[in-house]
Amino acid sequence: MVKISEVISKIGNKIPIITGPTGIGKTSFSIKLARKIKGEIISIDSRQIYKNFIIGTAQPSNYEQTQAKHYLINYLEHSKIISAGNYIQLVKEKIVKIKKSGKVPIIVGGSMLYVNSLCFGIINKADSNPTNRKKYFDYIKSGNKDFLFNKLKLIDPKYAKKVSYNDHKKLVRALEIFDLTGKSPTEVFHEQTKIDKNNRDKFFIIEIITDRKKLRKDIHKRTVKMIENGWVDEVKTLISAGINKNSHPMQSLGYRHIISYLNKEIKFDELLEQISTKTWQYAKKQLTWLKKMDINLQISLDDIN
């Protein structure tokens, strides 16, 4: 058994980041930690930030939010799309606010790109260009993906080797960086690493771990519970409120499956199975990310006293 006091001692005066795959218990542990160190929680989750998408994104319950103050939960309108750069800026602003109040900021979430960007830096001068981004995705839709890959190989052959043929987002982002900076992604990333070399030491990353078989079962149980708690009705309410089915948060895991169920395209048993399976697949991607991350401490919630 590991006492939470030992974990707190390891954290020291750094900012704790609680991360791990979906459904593993990050929220419950972060609240327990917050109550011990007079902490306030900043969510770093690309979907929990959206207003009224509560059950399906597993936002902390009202009771949990009375146990510890939360930021960037139920915060953004559904019509907005937030870039990684803008999200990280919001997180930094909340860190400053919490520290000024004499409390300890605790970062919690499973959006690994955001966690990585917070710790290792974001490309400040190459945030996003919606026009170019749309242009490149239109190229891909029209069957000109090979042209874009060849373009990237000419611009940055080293980085091109790191981009999977089916990773459209990474491909478009690489070309977007070149358009915005006039430099190859490899060069820009190298420059940013030098700028942010001391940033990582500000944070103490804690990964919540568990047995994979247990996580798979827990994800299924959580899916069932979320449906029982009214997820289908939540989607009905969102649609009735005029929220577009193609809006960014409606593309979140599970929402499009519930829309298919409401349209009688799949049965209830299929709905449960599809959401559970997709969530598990997402968790496996998160675990792959975590293997590459610089983790300070791994803990199992079964071992915390």
Give me the domain span that covers residue 257: 216-276
pLDDT score at 108: 98
CATH number of the domain encompassing residue 136: 1.10.20.140
What are residue 17's DSSP bridge partners? 107, 205
The verdict on residue 134 lying in a domain is yes
Q: Are residues 15 and 101 in the same domain?
A: yes
The verdict on residue 281 lying in a domain is no
* Mean pLDDT across 203-222: 96
Q: Are residues 269 and 234 in the same domain?
A: yes
Q: Are residues 101 and 226 in the same domain?
A: no
Q: Are residues 205 and 76 in the same domain?
A: yes
- Which of 162, 195, 228 marks a domain boundary? 195
Q: Which of 41-55, 58-72, 288-302 has the lowest mean pLDDT?
A: 288-302
Grade residue 36 by pLDDT with cuts at 50, 70 and 90. very high
Q: What is the pTM of this model?
A: 0.81
Q: Are residues 90 and 169 in the same domain?
A: no
Q: Are residues 92 and 146 in the same domain?
A: no
The verdict on residue 246 lying in a domain is yes
Q: Are residues 15 and 64 in the same domain?
A: yes
Q: Which two tokens stand for residue 138?
A: 């239109």
Q: 167 pLDDT exceeds 70?
A: yes
pLDDT in tens, 234-291: 999 999 999 998 898 999 999 999 999 999 999 999 999 999 999 999 999 999 989 9
The verdict on residue 226 lying in a domain is yes
CATH number of the domain encompassing residue 272: 1.10.287.890
pLDDT score at 73: 97
- Among 176, 82, 73, smallest CA distance to 126 is for 176
Long-range pairs for 49-52: beta carbons < 8 A, 24 or more residues apart: 49/73, 49/74, 49/75, 49/76, 49/82, 49/87, 50/74, 50/75, 50/76, 50/77, 50/78, 50/248, 50/249, 50/252, 51/75, 51/76, 51/77, 51/78, 52/78, 52/234, 52/237, 52/238, 52/241, 52/243
Q: Which two tokens stand for residue 165?
A: 């043929």
pLDDT score at 81: 85
* Mean pLDDT across 180-185: 85
Q: Are residues 112 and 15 in the same domain?
A: yes
The verdict on residue 183 lying in a domain is yes
CATH number of the domain encompassing residue 297: 3.40.50.300
Q: Are residues 272 and 190 in the same domain?
A: no
Give the total number of structural domains in the chain: 3
Average pLDDT, the chain: 91
pLDDT score at 99: 97
pLDDT score at 128: 64
The verdict on residue 83 lying in a domain is yes
Q: Are residues 24 and 108 in the same domain?
A: yes
Q: Are residues 108 and 179 in the same domain?
A: no
Q: Are residues 206 and 89 in the same domain?
A: yes
The verdict on residue 230 lying in a domain is yes
Q: 23 pLDDT exceeds 80?
A: yes
- Among 81, 51, 115, smallest CA distance to 59 is for 51
The verdict on residue 56 lying in a domain is yes
